[in-house]
Amino acid sequence: MPTAMPSSPAPTAELDVAGALLSLLRDTDTEPRPDPQLEALTLAVAADLPVLLWGEPGIGKTAALTQLAASLDLPLTTVIASVHEPTDFSGLPIVGDDPAEQGVPMAPPEWAVRLVRAGRGLLFLDELSTAPPAVQAALLRLVLERRIGTLVLPPDVRIVAAANPRSSAADGWELSPPLANRFVHLQWTHDAEVVVRGLGGVWPRATLPRLDPARLTEAVDVARRAVCGLLTARPALVHRLPGGEALRGGAWPSPRSWEMALRLIAFATAAGVSRDVLSQLVRGVVGDGPGLELLAWLDRMDLPDPELLLADPEGAELPERGDRRLAALEGVVAAVARRPEKSRWDAAWALLVRALDSGAPDLVVVPATTLAGLRREDWDVPESIERLAGVVSLSRRADRAGDRVAAGAGAGTGR
């Protein structure tokens, strides 16, 4: 009798084994790990501001959002903006029995209904830069008012979007200025060490920032003083639409984005986040230039009051860090310029001498030169100036020597 051939395994059995292997590959863990861009993302999410992650394809934007939703225990709803019609975000018209009497309601899409029923969740708008202008226009109301058709998203729904730069997006479009101005723009980059450790099975853990209840009032005060102080001194920054199309599709200053910056500063202050995280956030809403000015203004708010320094120059405590010390001394000189009096002028010189004795001499050169220019004809020169004269003259001689060296080098090259 011929021997029976062994039966081959059923295809379903092979798929079961493949499924088990895939399950093991998806079985990863998380660990607490410092990650400034992840901290910036979670703080903006906690502040209930729409976030837009910019990054090249394959950089891990979608994976980060998936992990964020899992860490925060929020159901994730992903909507690919570029494959939807404008009516998917503004609502589909439904004609009733008597349109003239009842009107035509706008029915929301199924994913919006699911979010409202859940009462909470993370709405992920992917491929935003490949959405055509008509779809971007329809997204305005969703991003700003959280409204789709007749539905309003619950307060516990957060909105995060992702986009590729136009140069690397398939049929990409620049974001329209109205839509771009509604987001916190964060540049998403990869960290090789994080990627390697993640592929090994352990990714950074996304956690919401811990806000200090005792600092909430202080945080609001700091944020308001910073933003209002800067815009009072620099009113041209209140609204400045960039000239280039690409820049208009990013972060730029407007009353709306300054309000977002104020909220982010308050949350960052209450959470005690690092300067790096705060920098990413404020530059992500008002742009690099205005954002850096705002950060500098925050630094100046932490400086000692120039009037208190002038009132007691001998007992004054100057900042230790060089840039902060220089800013404090420049603030003192500016205060004297605003109200020039002989006693205040003398007190400023005493402060400069104190700074000379306790810090780097070059920090007093510019303030001393400016202060000397404020002297009135009937003001006697204080003896303390002699202590500073050598430093200023030495600095000037060094500048002149540097100019001669540069001139000689230019002559040697025939320029």
**pLDDT single digits (tens) 15-73:** 889 999 999 998 888 888 888 999 999 999 999 999 999 988 888 888 888 888 888 88
**Same-domain status, 246 and 362:** no
49 and 167 both lie in a single domain: yes
279 with 400, same domain? Answer: no
DSSP secondary-structure letter at 146? -
Residue 206: what pLDDT? 80
* Structural domain containing residue 43: 32-93+106-204
Q: Report whether pLDDT(215) > 80.
A: yes
Q: Would you say residue 14 lies in a domain?
A: no
Shared domain check, 172 and 61: yes
Is 209 in a helix, a strand, or coil?
A: coil
Q: What's residue 11's pLDDT?
A: 64
Q: Quick one: which of 186, 167, 185, 189 has its CA closest to 177?
A: 185
Mean pLDDT (the chain, rounded): 84
Question: 212 or 67: whose pLDDT is higher?
Answer: 212
In angstroms, the CA 55 to CA 203 distance is 19
| pLDDT in the model for residue 415 | 41
Determine the Cα angle at 130 with ends 248 and 192, to 5°.
85
Q: Is residue 100 part of a domain?
A: no
pLDDT in tens, 239-268: 999 988 888 999 999 999 999 999 999 999
Specify the pLDDT at position 239.
96
pLDDT of residue 125: 92
Q: Do 337 and 382 sit in the same domain of this protein?
A: yes
| pLDDT for residue 277 is more than 80 | yes
Share of the chain above pLDDT 70, in %: 86
Torsion, Cα of 278, 285, 253, 273 (10° steps): -10
| Residue 231 pLDDT greater than 80, yes or no | yes
The last residue of a domain, from among 204, 235, 258: 204
The mean pLDDT of 271-283, rounded to a whole number, is: 95
What is the predicted pLDDT for the residue at 244?
A: 83
- Angle (nearest 5°) at CA 36 between 35 and 39: 85
Q: Which amino acid is at 96?
A: G
Three-state DSSP state, 187:
strand
Residue 22 lies in a domain: no
What percentage of the chain exceeds 90 in pLDDT? 35
pLDDT at 401: 36
Q: pTM value?
A: 0.73
Q: Which domain-ending residue is among 251, 273, 301?
A: 301
What is residue 404's predicted lDDT score, i.e. its pLDDT? 43
- Please state the domain count of the chain: 3
pLDDT at residue 375, as a whole number: 87
The CA-atom distances, in angstroms, between 286 and each of 110, 266, 269 are 35, 16, 18
Q: Residue 189: its pLDDT value, please?
A: 86
Render pLDDT for 304-333 as a digit per residue (tens, 0 to 9).
888 889 998 888 888 887 877 888 888 899
